[in-house]
Amino acid sequence: MRAVTATDFGGTDVLELCDVHMPIPGDQDLLVEVHSAAVNPVDFKIRRGAFRDRSQLPMVLGFDASGVVCAMGQRVEGFKSGDEIYVSPSLVRNGSNAEYVCVDARTAARKPRCVDHMTASAMPLATLTAWEALYERTSLERNETVLIHAGGGGVGHIAIQLAKLKGARVLITASRDESIELCLGYGADVVINYVEEDFVKRVLELTNGRGCDVVFDCVGGEVFDRSPACVAVNGRIVTIVGSSESSALRDLFVRNITLHFEMMAAPTMYNINPQKQGQILHEAAKLVDDGKLAVHISQAFPLVELAEAHQLQETEHVTGKIAIQVR
Amino acid sequence: MRAVTATDFGGTDVLELCDVHMPIPGDQDLLVEVHSAAVNPVDFKIRRGAFRDRSQLPMVLGFDASGVVCAMGQRVEGFKSGDEIYVSPSLVRNGSNAEYVCVDARTAARKPRCVDHMTASAMPLATLTAWEALYERTSLERNETVLIHAGGGGVGHIAIQLAKLKGARVLITASRDESIELCLGYGADVVINYVEEDFVKRVLELTNGRGCDVVFDCVGGEVFDRSPACVAVNGRIVTIVGSSESSALRDLFVRNITLHFEMMAAPTMYNINPQKQGQILHEAAKLVDDGKLAVHISQAFPLVELAEAHQLQETEHVTGKIAIQVR
């Protein structure tokens, strides 16, 4: 079959049209006759070597597909030959820039009936990304405010629609006229031209200084780094890129991790739901009285010896707690 | 009243026992006769200037208290004079290193009856931190595996007990004999002596290479940076310290933010719940057929022109999607 393969990691000159063997479906696979594929930023990232340790050369890129099922493995359920399906092929197998592709049947679905293969093929990766980010990771809720960076992009313009379907207020960053128009057309409430104005300042203005509930970052780098400043206390950020500066954060991305910051003083500092802390302490007191929770005090000081207590705490080798007797 | 005040930011020499005015309770406040307080790492951090912009000098530190209610504001409900309460006073008001402290009544609760004021005073800040981190942020579940860094510390030893109460498997890092013994006494399943062995390697061994579901990081720095490597795909990390390297992360901590990384390829790369993606695409197809979701294709290329499509995508100024026609 015909395919475009990447013969090496590098620029677009590594892409080569050639004849390759037909892929053979595994037990859970569909063999799909590809009608249309789509391009995503991940294509050029992998081409440049982003998953170098997981990619075998030569490789076929293409992580969106719409086409027709023509064969399948013996454990596949719910599909038959001739079904028109759309799917995002695995990043670590050969993709859809070819006449045929094998995909895990469980990750595929029948394509929307009212659109053609080309339109259907433009959807899977961006839709899965936006859906998982807004509906699963951050659990965006009705009447919350979400800021979507790069609303006019592949993921962004799907995200606008999903956020509006949920009943959220949608703020967008975009700069080109074409993008701005697209975002407004898909229902964005406010488009912030980040080239002409400071998006942090504008988001704070638009939310009475509170910040938005959710930031969906499809850009990364400086945009990621500046996003915490425009999220509300207790808010959520979801990024599909991550900060460039820390390898720990890159690890978090590849493993799809959620990182929580626990700042127990937030309710009292910002006066947000302070009664929750009274409730927790009430529950904890019951556990103590039931013999289910205990605290370990390794040393106690009178108030006049507070400095000594601080010095001990500063060793960072305190077992359990240090108490201060006031009376 | 007598109090120890910090007269400046700096070392323990800024702490000074002196006579200060009694605090006056606001509408929602309890005036508490302090019987006992406790010390936490946040005390020396604030003393050194961590909240410099929010702290007024001279200030009274001390963010744990147990004592007796002796007066209250007019809007307080649920307490009366003489009640024995325990509470974590606000980080941005004067604290409990004094004979009296004012606290928001909503954040207080009656102290456990079966323990004395000293024991009760050692609980609030650490308990709230551990409770919020495990039960609210990460929603630790029965039979999940949690790694708690510094299990013998103030927060850590409470966290062990809360995790065991939830039915989780609890792995701990600790190094001193006293800490290790304390952790085992409170029910830790495995204590990893991180000085003697590599905690990442050991956690992977203990979880058949999968990693743990939740990491609770009470240490930060290098321990935070190395934690992603021992969390399972789709896992959660909660930190009360955060990485030292990025100011964006410090912002996240102070605003109590949750950071999600969305890597849509994770289900297929790691073969975890791949059918979820088929379900999402099925739902999305229905939305398209109902006219509620659309995709915007700004340009289409034939397969032989894939390199041009990549080049366009690499400009990072694509509106919507680029399609590739295969047949």
Residue B138 lies in a domain: yes
Residues A254 and A144 in one domain: yes
Contact with chain A for residue B96, Cβ under 8 A: yes
Q: Could you say which residues from 228 to 247 on chain B have a Cβ atom under 8 Å away from some Cβ of chain A?
A: 228-229, 231-240, 242-243, 245-247
B240 contacts A297? CB cut-off 8 A = no
Residues B107 and B138 in one domain: no
A194 by DSSP, 3-state: which? coil
Instruction: Give residues with Cβ within 8 angstroms of B57, minimum separation 6.
Output: B6, B7, B8, B9
Residue B24 lies in a domain: yes
Contact with chain B for residue A184, Cβ under 8 A: no
Query: Nearest C-alpha of chain B: how many angstroms from A8?
Result: 14
CA nearest to A125, candidates B265, B283, B318: B265
The angle subtended at Cα A4 by Cα A91 and Cα B277, nearest 5°, is: 25
A165 contacts B293? CB cut-off 8 A = yes
Residue A268 lies in a domain: no
Instruction: Note the helical H segments in A197-322.
Output: 199-206, 222-226, 247-254, 266-270, 275-289, 306-314
Contact with chain B for residue A90, Cβ under 8 A: yes
Q: How far apart are CA A147 and CA A217, in angstroms?
A: 8
Beta partners for A214?
Answer: A146, A236
- The dihedral sign for the CA sequence A178, A183, A184, A185: positive
Residues A205 and A224 in one domain: yes
The angle subtended at Cα B290 by Cα A102 and Cα A167, nearest 5°, is: 105
Contact criterion met (CB below 8 Å) for B164 and B170: yes
Residue A289 lies in a domain: yes
Chain A residues closer than 8 Å to B133 by CB:
260, 262
- Residue among B97, B235, B317 whose CB faces A306 most closely: B97
- Residue among B36, B108, B289 whose CB faces A326 most closely: B36
Domain end (from A218, A233, A261):
A261
Instruction: Note the helical H segments in A168-226.
Output: 177-185, 199-206, 222-226
Residues A131 and A257 in one domain: yes
Residues A47 and A168 in one domain: no
Domain end (from B90, B122, B154):
B122
**b vs e for A176-213, b when ≥16 Cβ sit within 10 Å of the residue's Cβ?**
eeebbebbbebebbbbbbbeeeebbebbbebbeebbbb
Residue A269 lies in a domain: no
A297 contacts B268? CB cut-off 8 A = no
Q: CATH number of the domain at B137, please.
A: 3.40.50.720
CA nearest to B261, candidates A124, A153, A216: A216
Residue B207's CB: how many other CB atoms inside 10 A?
A: 18
Q: CATH number of the domain at B118, please.
A: 3.90.180.10
Report CA-CA distances (Å) from A322 to A65, A318, B36, B108, B162: 61, 8, 11, 20, 20
Q: Is the pTM of this model over 0.90?
A: no
Domain end (from A107, A122, A137):
A122
Residues B171 and B238 in one domain: yes
Q: Residue A285, class by beta-carbon neighbours within 10 Å (0-12 exposed, 13-18 middle, 19+ buried)?
A: buried
**pLDDT tens, A221-267?**
888 888 888 999 889 999 888 655 566 677 777 777 888 888 787 87
Residue A267 lies in a domain: no
Query: Nearest C-alpha of chain B: how many angstroms from A197?
Result: 19
Contact criterion met (CB below 8 Å) for B324 and A95: no
Residue B269 lies in a domain: no
- How many domains does one find in chain B? 3
Query: Nearest C-alpha of chain A: how many angstroms from B219?
Result: 9
**pLDDT tens, A258-277?**
888 887 878 777 888 888 88
B223 by DSSP, 3-state: which? helix
Residues B163 and B41 in one domain: no
Give the range of the structural domain holding residue A132, as residue numbers without chain letter.
127-261
Report CA-CA distances (Å) from B142 to A93, A233, A260, B139, B235: 35, 29, 19, 10, 15
Contact with chain A for residue B106, Cβ under 8 A: yes
What is the radius of gyration, based on Cα positions, of chain A? 26
pLDDT tens for each residue of chain B, 327 residues long: 999 999 999 999 999 999 999 999 999 999 999 999 999 989 998 999 988 877 789 999 999 999 999 999 999 999 999 999 999 999 889 999 999 999 999 999 999 999 999 999 999 999 999 999 999 889 999 999 999 999 999 999 999 999 999 999 999 999 999 999 999 999 999 999 999 999 999 999 999 999 999 999 998 888 888 888 899 988 999 988 865 556 667 777 777 788 888 888 788 778 888 888 889 899 999 998 998 888 888 889 888 898 898 898 888 788 888 888 988
Residue A72 lies in a domain: yes
Q: Please state whether beta strands B169-174 and B190-193 pair in parallel, antiparallel, or not at all (unpaired).
A: parallel
**b vs e for A231-264, b when ≥16 Cβ sit within 10 Å of the residue's Cβ?**
bbbbbbbbbbbbbebbebbebbbbbbbbbbbbbb
Residue A143's CB: how many other CB atoms inside 10 A?
A: 9
**Matching residue, tokens 């020396």:** B44
Query: Nearest C-alpha of chain B: how many angstroms from A277?
Result: 5
Contact criterion met (CB below 8 Å) for A216 and A149: yes
Query: Nearest C-alpha of chain A: how many angstroms from B70?
Result: 15
B200: part of which helix (H) or strand (E)? helix B199-206
Residues A145 and A197 in one domain: yes
Q: How far apart are CA A14 and CA A10, in angstroms?
A: 6
Residues A104 and A28 in one domain: yes
Residues A109 and A81 in one domain: yes
Residues B239 and B255 in one domain: yes
Residues A251 and A315 in one domain: no
